[in-house]
Structure 1
Amino acid sequence: MEKTRQRNWLDCAWSGVRIAFWWWLMETSLHFLYQEAILKNMPYLFSLPKDQFVALGMAMGIFFHLKYAVIFGLPSLFAKLDNMDPLPGPICLIRVTLYSKVWREFDRGLYQFFKTYIFVPICAPTFSLPRKIFGVFISYGFVLLWHGFYHHNIVWIGLNILALFIEMGSKSIYTIESVRKWREAHLSDVAFRRILAWCHILPFAIGLYSNFYFLGGSDVGAAFVQRFLIEETITVRWPFLLIISLGWFHANTAMEVDRLKSLKKTKKD
């Protein structure tokens, strides 16, 4: 007879403290930080310096993550108190460069549902490229149906599909044996990762713009497109060069964090 696993009271207590802290911090911050109200005031929004303007976008994403850390954390805490093994909480959006990872590790239950009941049944048994593409459209279409066919949601889903196809296409190129062998012969792992960091910037930027539409609505998303994509990126002004340089450092940091967490998990297993 299998022995009942011992309840980890220390983990339960620590989870409760963390949830209470983030809940308190979020509620307290809302008395002093008004990013949601500012983002709804278009004339004031366009009058802000661009460094302050982009900080509002980051604040919007951080508060979204904190909200769901609490929303997912509370039932997770009760599951631990019942000696169950709940899924981990949502991944921090700050350490993500590929938004396919957000779909996998933010709402993990939703991802498992899509994978088990939508994507895999559509792709099986061949898992050919046409089946995978069709599975992607059906999965994201389900999300769009759930959130509603509004302009900002359509843009959000469309940009996420575009970023995912860029990522899938890049990975497909590397699966070509001649490409992989050339890389192994001419590029070290460190040099290859530095190149990958540059490659991450395009899907990362697409993912950011998609989130601005999703979290802020069509007007806020259009404001970010106007002030950064049209005014800075297309014209290749110095803020654009600064941002992509910082993005390269950020991508390297994100990949290193993923590597260290993977090593830690391997040692734990």
Structure 2
Amino acid sequence: MAPASLRNPICHGCGRVISGTSGMGGRVTPSGVPQQHSSRVQYGLSPKARAQQAHLKRKKKKTGKQFKNLVLVIVIAFVFLFTPAQEHVNKQLSIWLGEFWKSIGPAHEYPVGTEYTLQRTVEIENFDSGERQFLYRLPIPIQRTNRGVDDTTFDRNGNLDMASDVQWVKSMKVGSSFSHIDVPVDTVEYLEESSAISLGDGFSSVHWPSLGSSEDRCEFTRCLIWKGDIPATSIAILTITYDIESYSYAWNRGDTIS
């Protein structure tokens, strides 16, 4: 019997396969070429065992969730059965809701009362080659009340209820480069043109005449009149400064600003 090659599992003498089904590969594989043997082996649980394991996990998760729900029900029952705990939770809930609405709701916090200074500047320019005359009217502020500008609110059997101030213009001053002339705002006073006060710029003055319909007076409310003759290529400047005290509501007014 002819010996068989170590590379080929076929007997050269009889032609029989001497290594089972692997001999088929030897019949079609050239001599001298190494053969590739593939074998796949799977390890682990069978599909049935994996399904049982997944079922146990779901059951365990469901049991844990039910336990958490039971604990939550017990806590809620405890809160509503015992008054001290209920008060504490209600207080904390109120704080949380307050913070929540502050974060999402549009809001603006106004001060109860405030005190400030307002400064305004008016400039009139003359770019001509000659002198130009001008006249400018500036309203004198009216004190604001909770009835607009009225001093009273209601009439009860002939007795008038006085209105409360919500904005009080404490002072008004005017000047050219700086404000130095006091204009009466708390009392109704008039200063006619014959007694006009010079601004110190050399060509303009101010006065606050009595009411009237003529050009050099104010018809409906008190006003300050600034007039003069601006030299060529010059600028006339009026600086006005107001000291104001105001309140959010009439009932918030007190002796001090908070």
What TM-score bracket applies, with the shorter chain setting the length? Answer: under 0.3
Task: Give the alignment's TM-score, normalised by structure 1.
Answer: 0.16
Structure whose residues are more often helix by fraction: 1
Task: Please identify the structure whose Cα radius of gyration is greater.
Answer: 2
Structure whose residues are more often strand by fraction: 2
Task: Give the alignment's TM-score, normalised by structure 2.
Answer: 0.16
